[in-house]
Every structure is written in structure tokens, then in C-alpha cells.
Amino acid sequence: MSFADFKKRSQSSINELTKKIEETNKKESYTDDRFWRPELDKSSNGYAVIRFLPAPEGEDLPWAKYYSHGFQGKGGWFIENCPTTLGQKCPVCESNSELWNSGVEKDKDIARNRKRRLHYVSNIMIVSDPANPQNEGKVFLYKFGKKIFDKINDAMNPEFEDEDAINPFDFWGGANFKLKVRKVAGFINYDKSEFESTSALLDGNDANLEVLWKTQYALAEFVDPANFKSYTELKTKRDTVLGNDIRETVSDTTTTAETVSESEDSTPNPFDSTTETESKGEETDALTYFEKLANE
């Protein structure tokens, strides 16, 4: 390249750099356009048909599973991945255990509000999206909670003898999933969602399926230790957000209306990282918090 060309490029390189920075930031923000979410109408109803896709190239599982915390204290928001995902200690889960074990109802409520939330992420293809038809036929990441995972699990392990086990993630023997979203008692509810009968995706055309498979996103990053802060970092952040008293809360009702979970009292300690209990409010994912932050 001549020096004259080099000089000419110096302005455009700023634009390129800016664009790159924007792309990087985008991936970290709640507007990450790799993710699809059902669009809900004014009464919080939503409908779409999606197809769960197999493990992406080089990976073993068609989903990634991780935990995160999202809550507000007087020192701001705590929105972080929970290291119990990786089998490591978490300072927030620890203070939640302490609150829960006190047996005091008020403490238990605080612990519920700060509990770790379970997330799954899978690749999906949008079969039908009436609210956004431009998404149809495209591959996205989809983040969901225990309720939908239970439906997947039920399909793989049916309860009754007359039902055939299916692998919903299979291109050829899987099934489309009718996602039906409603709001029930203040919670986003997926109970009416169901699998259709089995069908090969894209009419089972291997060439087209291969193209689709190659466009799937890697899932490994969601459980990559690099995306989890250390115990010390998290403890510092927790102390900044909560102050010295883990019982102190902010009187901001927006943190409770949609996120506080329902009766978990049947389990000895839902904050013990060895238990898998999750609540009805599970599917209210951390994105809600990011949206709130963005609107502030």
C-alpha cells in the first residue's frame, strides 16, 4: 500500500474500528441479536413455532445450562453469572443460605429475591413467528428456563407406555415446538406450550440441513469459566451492592413484582447449590433486568 493510500484510509479506519467496537458491545448487551425472544402482545400473550436444533459442530450437548443472579441493592444492581454453574462457591448463594436458614419469613423473602436463576440456551430455528415473520427459517439462540426444559425432558422420557420417546433436538426424528406464552398471576407462563408430532426438519433434506447446522451458534461460551468472575470479585461486588448488612433491601417494588418466586418452602433449602429446585417464576430471565437498566 502506498503512503497516500494509507493516509486516505486513516479516516475510514476509524469508522471500521467504531463498527467493530459496536459489534463487540452488542454481543455483551441485552440486544444481542443472536437471541430470539417471543414478542408478546399487550396482554403478554405470545405464540410462535420453533424447532430445537442439535448440538453445534464440535459440541456434545444441544443446550448450555447455567445460573445467574439479578437483583438490586442500595448500592445498585448485581447481575452476574453464578459460579455454582461450574461447581464453585458463590458468595451470593452463601448469604442466601444464611438468610434462608434463619427461618425468618422476611429473610426467606430476601433470599428468594436474590436466588440464582436457572437458564438454558439452545439453538433454534424459527418455524413460524406471526409477530416477526422475517425471522422464519432463521437460526437463533433461545434462552429458556426450567418449565420449557421440563417439556423437553418429558418428550425424551415420556411418562406413559403408549408414548414414544423422542429427541426434540433431532433434525430427522424431532418435533416442532409450539411456544404459547401467557401471563398468569403476574408470571410469564409457558404451561400451554407443546410439541407437535414428529417431523423431519426442512423435509429431511440433508444438504439444506447441513447448511442450517453450519449456521448454528457455539454454546460453550455460556459455561466458559472466562465468563464467570472469581469468588473474591463477586464478594466485593455483593458487598458494594448490599453494603454491610445482607438484610438491607431497597424499597423498589420493580425488583419484586415479576421476579420473586413462589412457594419453595417445601424444600429444605432451595439455595443449597446441590438442589435443583426452581420456582414458578423461573422463566423471568435476567434479560428483564437488562431491559430495566437500559430504560433507567
Nearer to Zn ion, 62 or 73 (CB): 73
- Structural element, H or E, at residue 211: helix 206-214
Q: Residue written as cell 407443546?
A: 194
CA distances from 255 to 72, 142, 202, 283 (A): 7, 24, 42, 15
Kindly state the smallest distance separating residue 87's Cβ from Zn ion, in Å: 12
β partners of residue 117? 68
Q: How far apart are CA 98 and CA 20, in angstroms?
A: 44
Radius of gyration of the chain (CA): 22
Q: How far is the CB of 145 from Zn ion (least distance, A)?
A: 16
Give 111 or 139: the residue with its C-beta nearer to Zn ion: 111
Report the residue number, 36 or 67, with the smaller CB distance to Zn ion.
Answer: 67
CB closer to Zn ion, 68 vs 193: 68
Q: In the complex with Zn ion, which residue's Cβ is closer, 90 or 201?
A: 90
- Minimal distance, residue 296 CB to Zn ion, in Å: 24
In the 3-class helix/strand/coil scheme, how is 108-170 assigned residue by residue? Answer: HHHHHHHCCEEEEEEEEEEEECCCCHHHCCCEEEEEECHHHHHHHHHHHCCCCCCCCCCCCCC
Backbone phi, then psi, for 236, in 5-degree steps? -60, -45
83 or 168: CB nearest Zn ion = 83
Smallest distance from the beta carbon of 116 to Zn ion, in angstroms? 4
Q: Using an 8 Å Cβ cutoff, are 148 and 48 in contact?
A: no
Grid coordinates of 98: 444464611
And the C-alpha cell for 180? 404459547
What is the contact surface with Zn ion in residues (CB under 5 A)? 82, 90, 92-93, 116
Q: Which is nearer to Zn ion, 51 or 116 (CB)?
A: 116
What's the closest the beta carbon of residue 114 comes to Zn ion, in angstroms? 9
Nearer of residues 93 and 188 to Zn ion, judged by Cβ: 93
Least distance from C-beta 8 to Zn ion, angstroms? 52
Please count the residues of the chain: 296
Q: According to the 3-state scheme, what is the secondary structure of 45-89?
A: CEEEEEEECCCCCCCCCCEEEEEEEEEEECCEEEEEECHHHHCCC
Q: State the minimum distance, in angstroms, from the CB of residue 115 to Zn ion.
A: 8
In whole angstroms, the minimum distance from the beta carbon of 86 to Zn ion comes to 11
Half-sphere exposure of 17 (CA within 13 A, CB side): 6
